[in-house]
Amino acid sequence: MTEVAIGNGLATSFWSDSWAGEPLRKRSPMLFEVSRRKNRTVADALEDDHWLMDLRGRITLALLPDFVALRQVMRSCNIDPDSDDTFRWKSSSGGYSASSAYALQFVGTQQSPLRHIWPVWAPPKCKFFIWLLMQLRIFTVDRLLRFWMPNQYFCPLCRQNLETPVHLFAECPWARQVWERSASLFCCPAIRKPAGDDLAPSWVVSKLAGADRRAASITTLVAWEIWRERNRCVFCNKELSVSGLVHLISDEANSWVLAGARHLVRRE
Ligand SMILES: [Zn+2]
């Protein structure tokens, strides 16, 4: 709930304080995880590029976008050795107030984007999957590589790119056709992914947060079925066409309707 204006950087935590917008440990959780030193001050991290040395040998392809973004942050950071870091209470007015202190109690609970998952009408296993996806904890190849586990490297749906959550649910041309066709099938343009949007997990959750009840269920259903199709390719060596998967999504939606999801009834 505080933000920092950097002076000499001696009092500011490199990973945990809000000195460059959102704390870096939240902005780049995977980089934070692989960093050998998590308690450096900003001054310490900048000195002789210590932050870089902490990551040496640990940057995989999956971490590269985060790494490039962090490097830009570091390049634009200016230390002023003659002034102290200043901490400012972060509220709409910029000053301390009882209401902003009250709101602080709920940081990480009510404010978590994960809270949007549980009210969605969908089977618990699908919501649990979305919960894992949001935290980048599904076992796509980038995660398998980090644990030295066997993997097929390429996305099994398009066979063009390293498989990451971002690729699988947002960038993959094969999966994007599924999102498009599903949007038409359900007459639900809200689930179309806007061009140029960022990471898949934040995109999926923005659908859950901003969308109506129907779009939230359809988003969960389509993401779940894309994941199941991915698993069929990897573990059963079977694959469906885009039309085949959309047909399966349609059948599954009918099952959800029979189980009580009346809001999923197809709109003509
Ligand atoms: Zn792909």
pLDDT, tens only, 240-249: 999 999 999 9
CA of 66 to the centre of ligand 1 (A): 20
Q: Can you tell me the distance from the alpha carbon of 226 to that of 224, in angstroms, rounded to the nearest whole number?
A: 6
Residue 148 Cα to chain centre, angstroms:
22
b/e per residue 185-203 (b: at least 16 CB within 10 A):
bbebeebebeeeeebbbeb
**Torsion sign, CA atoms 172, 173, 178, 183:** positive
State the pLDDT at residue 50. Answer: 85
Distance 171 CA to ligand 1 centre (A): 7
C-alpha 162 – ligand 1 centre gap (Å):
8
**What is the CA(185)–ligand 1 centre distance, in A?**
22
Sequential DSSP letters for the chain: -EEEE-SSSSSSBTTTSBSSSS-HHHHSHHHHHH-S-S--BHHHHHGGGHHHHHHTT---GGGHHHHHHHHHHHHT----TTS--EEEE-STTSS--HHHHHHHTTTTTTT-GGGGTTTSSS-HHHHHHHHHHHTT-S--HHHHHHTT-----B-TTTSSSB--HHIIIII-HHHHHHHHHHHHHTT-GGGSPPTT---HHHHHHHHHHHS-HHHHHHHHHHHHHHHHHHHIIIII-----HHHHHHHHHHHHHHHHHTT-GGGSPP-
CA of 176 to the centre of ligand 1 (A): 9
Per-residue pLDDT reduced to its tens digit, 32-78: 888 888 888 888 888 888 888 888 777 777 777 788 888 878 877 77
The token duo for 164 is 């990451």
Q: How confident is the model at residue 97 (pLDDT cuts 50, 70, 90)?
A: low
Tell me how far the alpha carbon of residue 172 lies from the centroid of ligand 1, in angstroms: 4
| Cα separation of the two ends of the chain | 48
Phi-psi map region of 260: left, alpha, beta (phi>0 left; psi -120 to 50 alpha): left
What does the pLDDT read at residue 87? 76
Cβ proximity of 171 and 161 under 8 Å: yes
Distance CA 91, CA 96 (A): 7
Taking residues 119-128, what's their average pLDDT? 91
Averaged confidence pLDDT in the chain: 81
**Centroid of ligand 1 to alpha carbon of 229 (angstroms):** 12
pLDDT of amino acid 209: 63
- Gap from CA of 168 to ligand 1 centroid (Å): 6
Q: 170 C-alpha vs ligand 1 centroid, how far in Å?
A: 9
Determine the distance separating the centroid of ligand 1 and the alpha carbon of 174, expressed in angstroms. 6
pLDDT for 160-215, tens place per residue? 888 988 888 888 999 999 999 999 999 888 777 655 555 455 566 666 666 678 88
Find the 169 Cα to ligand 1 centroid distance in Å.
9
Ligand 1: centre distance to CA 184 (Å): 21
pLDDT score, position 111: 56
